[in-house]
Structure 1
Amino acid sequence: MIIPVRCFSCGKVIGDLWERYLEMIENEDKSDGDAMDELGLHRYCCRRMVMTHVDLIEKLLRYNPAEKEMHGQLSKQN
Structure 2
Amino acid sequence: MIPVRCFTCGKVISSVWDEYKKRTQTEEPGKVLDDLGIERYCCRRMLLTHVELVDLLAPYQ
Q: Give the TM-score normalised by the residue count of structure 2.
A: 0.92
Which range moves more in the overlay, 4-13 or 53-62?
53-62
CA shift, 1:25, in A, is 0.8
After superposition, give the CA deviation of every residue in 1:26-78 in whole Å (9 maximum; x if it has no partner): 1xx211110001111000000000000001111211112xxxxxxxxxxxxxx
What secondary structure does 2:18 align onto? helix
- After the TM superposition, which parts of structure 1 deviate over 6 Å for at least 4 consecutive aligned residues? none
Matched, 1:31 2:28: yes
AA at the equivalent of 1:55: E
Deviation at 1:23, TM superposition (A): 0.7
TM-score, normalised to structure 1, is 0.73
Matches within 5 A, 1:26-65: 26=25, 29-64=26-61
Number of residue pairs the alignment of both structures matches? 61
Could you list the runs of 5+ residues in structure 1 that have no partner in the other structure?
Answer: 65-78
Overall identity of the aligned pairs, in %: 49
1:4 Cα deviation (Å)?
0.4
Larger Rg: 1
